[in-house]
Amino acid sequence: MSRVVLAMSGGVDSSVAAHLLTQTGHEVIGVFMRHGEASASACRIQTDDAADPNPLGLPVLGGVSTSASTGKRADHKQGCCSATDAADARRVAMSMDIPFYSLDLQEDFRKIVDYFVDDYLNARTPNPCVKCNHWIKFGKLFDYADGVDADYVATGHYARMSENSKGRQLRRGLDDSKDQSYALFGIGHERLSRMMLPVGDFEKSQIREIAASLGLGVSEKKDSQEICFVTEGHHSDFVKSRRPEMVGATAGEIVTIDGRVVGKHDGFEAYTVGQRKGLGVALGKPQFVVRIEPDTRRVVLGDAADLLAPGLEADQANWLIDPSDLPEHVSVQIRYNGRPHAARVQFDAADASRFAVRFSEPQKAVAPGQAAVVYDGDRVLGGGWIVRPTVD
């Protein structure tokens, strides 16, 4: 069968993916991507591995330490790159007798951290996990696969691959509650032919049952949900720690949608569009962040109805089809945990990297900085990054 490089995060999904691939006869190489800043040294121990499946010079770490602190706060649900995760991934690989290597991607990951900080300081709501999939996980992972002559790259994402006369297609996972196709829209079209998503055809409960039947210690492990590099405090504290020169520079007024000043804030990076709690003011009725104005440094509040937008504008598009083949009626998803909404998409034939979306019904909390992913049924057609909601 084929040689497959599998991203192993130490969670139940990628662990079962390893089992499914080996059971179908594939030669699997497990790779753990170390990119969390807080505990990056946890994998740095000596190794006796003589093999070096790394002709491209990617920094490979052969072992995993289980004694180092993960550096996470007490209320923090672990991310996807802690020392514990690395140790779990290694144990699973050993139990299946597959090679296992850790890649040190901390230098590359700084690009994700900088993007996260800069977006908040530009009054946008970043999605670092989606960017990480595009820039690092499916960037460096394919580089590594090329270096070891692997035919495919696999992950434990809940999405599916299908094929017809027009080639490979990316689709939503069978388990709607766990679908992760939204986070994969930025994969290069040319790489679809080499992607494998073994768990996408299963319900999450089935994956846990398989893990338990195999005696894998990760069968009941919680899913990673939080930002792996914000290990303590609020995300705005992290932003300020990375850009101390900006402390106080983003402070300003909190105003109502009609311009009435109702309070002050210490920095607009602490707010996101659609936010209701922690606004710092009480107006006697539910209020939401309707928009953030970086030029005036104002955080604008309004009613739920003020959050509704008939459409949006997006840029940095990545299309998995020829955009000229876009159906007239599609659906568009505007947040990771949201659902696609019926819409029409228009783009400039001279510049398909930008497009406009018109929803069949107005949608709330269209946040600049989030991804707008276009679907035809359960098929991912492509997507881009929200620049602004439209107002008419």
d(CA 268, CA 362): 26
Residue indicated by tokens 């104005």? 293
Whether 132 is catalytic is yes
For 209, the token pair is 């049952």
Instruction: Assign 3-class secondary structure to 343-371.
Output: EEEEEECCEEEEEEEEEEEEEECCCCCCE
CA atoms within 13 A on the CB side of 5: 26
Kindly list the strands in the beta sheet with 152-154, ordered across the sheet, starting from the edge strand earlier in the chain.
Answer: 60-61, 100-104, 27-34, 3-7, 152-154, 195-196
80 is catalytic: no
Nearest residue to 346 (alpha-carbon basis) of 311, 378, 298, 318: 311
CA nearest 325: which of 274, 273, 374? 374
What distance in Å separates the CA atoms of residue 99 and residue 259, rounded to the nearest whole number? Answer: 61
Which residue in 43, 81, 129, 132 is the catalytic one?
Answer: 132
In this structure, the number of other CB atoms found within 10 A of the CB of residue 180 comes to: 22
Return the amino acid letter for 342: A
Written as one string, the DSSP assignment of 204-248 is HHHHHHHHHHTT-TTTTPPPP-S-TT--SS-HHHHHHHH-GGGTT
Between the alpha carbon of residue 230 and those of residues 19, 37, 102, 103, the distances in Å are 32, 9, 22, 21
Q: CB of 251 within 8 A of CB of 264?
A: yes
For 19-69, the DSSP string reads: HHHHHTT-EEEEEEEE--STTGGGG-----------TT---EE----SSS-
Active-site choice (43, 81, 129, 228): 228
Residues taking part in catalysis: 132, 228
